[in-house]
Amino acid sequence: MSFSSHYSILLVAVPLAFAALCPIVGMWKRELCFPFSVAGAAAACFFIFSLWGKVISKGVVSYTPGGWKPPLGIQIRIDYVGLFMASIIGAVGLAVLVYSWRYVSRELDAEKIPYYYTLYMLLFASMLGFVVTGDIFNMFVFMEIFSISSYALVAITGQRRAVRAAFKYLLMGATSSVMVLLGIAFLYSTVGSLNMEDIAGRLAMGGYTSVASIALVLFLIGFAVKAALFPVHIWLPDAHSIAPSPISAVLSALVIKMGVLGILRIFFTVYTPGFAGIEGTWTALLQAIAWCAAISIVLASIMAIIQRDFKVMIAYSSIAHIGYILLGICMLTDKGLTGGLYNILAHALGKGCFFLVAGIIIYKHDLRRITSLRGLGRSMPVTAGAFAVASLSIVGLPPSAGFIAKWYILWGCLQKQHYVFMVMVLLGSLLSAIYCFRVVYYMFFVGSHSAEIDEGPATMIVPAASFAAATLFFGIFATLVLPSLSSAAQALLAG
């Protein structure tokens, strides 16, 4: 076996090892933690992106650590969706890591910095593990690792509100994890397997009804909390707005998407769409998610409009976008799924950029109120410009990635003749235009005319600006991603 055949395990193992070593490095020399983590994340990115060729040619890359054959052994199973998510995690995670360097060196106490990088790498590695694993219990373990590290990262500043928000996040998160664990227990008790494909095969043989349905409901509740779907979204605005900005960016861009991926895995890989036994429950639950998602879109957008705090506003907008993603997925058509998945990318870039911009503004001026952002378009043109560009994507205007996503989601709704959802999606766009352009308005069209340019440090500007540029790039060159996504969608629908 050549070295490259181990890439699929290395992409998780390497950052995990770096996370473990980080405190030791920190004990020796604190400044080395940052380059050390960057090296780990970059290596993971390398592994992720070199796997694309294999996945495109074969469809699925399977790997069995230690040679234990599935279904008994743990299996790493990288399909289109998994690799797509992994690529987003890799790219966004690396960029935000670079961004955090200057941010944390000022916002955090010096002795906390090694722990910050440790937790960050742990978060990074466990999210990668979550998306590539083919074993349902393994997925739970990775979910716990990233949840716990994000609780800790939200609270890392130790300020009173941060601690409080983290505790709220922890209570809801841990309860939802228990739900997922119970779901796994139920499923295992009737099916007797933990490998997702294997479970799907056994379920398809039939004979499982009530227990499997209960497990499905438990999974749904558990992952819905992680994804911050209405009405279990209440932890998100606090946690996302109070966390240090790079962490907010990662939480919003990546961590809540793990909940979405969990729902995808459960509803499409484990309980396959064609599965006859509990089809009624399956369809009813997806309908329920679709409605919750649609309500999320409208309600969260309205909540975002009435906020006065910049970061809370961005956090509410994340809830709305989770709504878009899930709505697209719940349409159960290839276009809708493609749209949902594309919005994962579009939102990761757009929202990542938003939080990074918020971070730069906090770093330079310690401003959080929207009305206090006046005139920043002149003093910080790149930062404010990045925000303006990213807001195109968040609103879903062409030519940005958000537009492509919304286009496909609408197309999916149309395929199923769900006109009400179409109207709600468009209404959501209008509402998001209000809250995004309000900020753009304060940045560019109100305030002083002094043209003294006072930008943030380059390591913070570059990630934010490149996210903004990437939203445009993926809005114009969408064909780079769309074929893989529609294969992903078709693979998911086929089960």
Instruction: Give the interface with other proteins as residue ranges (CB under 8 A).
Output: 137, 141, 144, 147-148, 151-152, 155, 158, 160-161, 163-164, 166-167, 170-171, 174-175, 177-178, 181-182, 184-185, 188-189, 194, 238, 308-309, 312, 397-399, 404, 406-408, 410-411, 414-415, 422, 426-427, 429-430, 433, 437, 444-445, 449, 475-479, 482
Q: Which is nearer to other proteins, 9 or 426 (CB)?
A: 426
Give the integer Cα–Cα distance in Å for 139 and 195. Answer: 10
Q: From the CB of 164, what's the least distance to other proteins, in Å?
A: 6
Tell the residue number behind the tokens 């095969």, with chain if given: 201
The nearest distance, CB 163 to other proteins, in angstroms, is 4
Tell me the three state secondary structure of residue 418: coil
CB distance 425 to 336 below 8 Å: no
Q: Quick check: helix, strand or coil at residue 468? A: helix
Q: Is 477 exposed, middle or buried (0-12, 13-18, 19+ CB in 10 A)?
A: exposed
Task: State how far the Cα of 274 lies from the Cα of 290, in Å rounded to an integer.
Answer: 19
Which of 36/116 has CB closer to other proteins? 116
Q: Kindly tell me which of 134 and 463 has the beta carbon lying closer to other proteins.
A: 134
Closer Cβ to other proteins, 95 or 388, answer by number: 388
The tokens of 314 are what?
Answer: 């961005």
Nearer Cβ to other proteins (182/217): 182
Q: Choose among 399, 421, 405: nearest CA to 489.
A: 405
Q: How far is the CB of 413 from other proteins (least distance, A)?
A: 9
> H or E stretch including 151?
helix 136-154
- Which one, 138 or 272, has the nearer CB to other proteins? 138
Write down the least CB distance from residue 193 to other proteins, Å. Answer: 9
Q: Are 486 and 334 in contact (CB under 8 A)?
A: yes
* Residue for token pair 């939200």: 154
CB 460 within 8 A of CB 102: yes
8 sits in which H/E element: helix 7-28
Give me the least distance between CB of 487 and other proteins, in Å please.
13
Task: Provide CB contacts within 8 A for 228, sequence distance 6+.
Answer: 235, 236, 256, 259, 318, 319, 322
Instruction: Output the smallest distance, CB 414 to other proteins, in A.
Output: 5
3-class SS of residue 457: coil
Judged by beta carbon, residue 99 or residue 411, the one nearer other proteins is 411
Shortest Cβ 399–other proteins spacing (Å):
5
- Residue located via tokens 């932890």: 235
Query: Which amino acid is it at 159?
Result: Q
Residue 337 CB, shortest distance to other proteins, in Å, is 14
Extract the tokens encoding 291.
Answer: 């409605």
* Cβ 449 to other proteins shortest distance, Å: 8
Rounded to the nearest whole angstrom, what is the least distance from the CB of residue 146 to other proteins in the complex?
Answer: 12
Q: Which residue has the tokens 């933990």?
A: 194
Tell me how far, at minimum, the Cβ of 304 lies from other proteins, in Å.
Answer: 14
Q: Of 186, 251, 194, 240, nearest to 77 (Cα)?
A: 194
Q: Which residues contact 63 (CB under 8 A, 6 or more apart)?
A: 5, 6, 8, 9, 75, 76, 77, 78
Distance from C-alpha of 240 to C-alpha of 23, rounded to nearest angstrom: 26
- DSSP 3-state of 366: coil
- Complex with other proteins: residue 163 or 462, whichever CB lies closer: 163
Q: How far is the CB of 310 from other proteins (least distance, A)?
A: 11
159-173 as b/e, with b when 16 or more CB fall inside 10 Å?
eeebeebbbbbbebb
**Is 153:31 a contact under the CB 8 Å cutoff?**
no
Shortest distance, position 192 Cβ to other proteins, whole Å = 8
| Cis status of the peptide bond prior to 237, with omega within 30 of 0 | no
List the one residue out of 119, 179, 175 whose CA is nearest residue 152.
119
Single-letter residue type at 409: I
